Amino acid sequence: MKTRKVVILGSSRGDGETRQKVDALKTLLHCEIIDLQEYRISFYDYQNTNHDDDFVGLMKNIIEGYDALIFATPGGLTRNRSGDYDLSQGEVGNSNIRHFTRLRTLSSDYS
């Protein structure tokens, strides 16, 4: 079975270095991109006044639609010694890339 992957982009600059790296990952890994700037997500509050934002629907779509998550946020990281990007360590230029799997297993724990 093919792993369904998605990159969740959490950068405030839609055309910055992190986005450039994510576009390269999309080509390399054949994955989709979710740019959080395209969603209306409010802060968390105990009164649930933000119940009509996009967060819950987005999370349901991610859990049901993908097996692996890759989080991409701006960071202060560098390339490894050989000059390559090391995804397992989260090093992609000045971007912070983290890869999570077992999403399907985790989602079934909370059903």
Per-residue model confidence (pLDDT) at position 64: 92
Specify the 3-state DSSP secondary structure of 44.
coil
DSSP type of residue 38: G
What is the reported pTM?
0.68
pLDDT, tens digit, 9 for 90 and up, residues 25-58: 899 889 999 999 999 998 888 887 878 899 989 9
Whether the predicted pLDDT of 77 surpasses 60: no
In the predicted structure, residue 86 carries a pLDDT above the cut 60 = no
Q: Determine the Cα–Cα distance for residues 87 and 49; give it in Å rounded to an integer.
A: 37
Give the residue-averaged pLDDT of 1-5: 80
Q: What is the pLDDT of residues 93-103, one digit of tens each?
A: 445 565 554 44
CA-to-CA distance for 73 and 60, rounded, in angstroms? Answer: 21
- Domains in the chain: boundaries: 5-109
Angstrom distance (rounded) from CA 24 to CA 46: 39
What CA–CA distance (Å, rounded) separates 95 from 63? Answer: 24
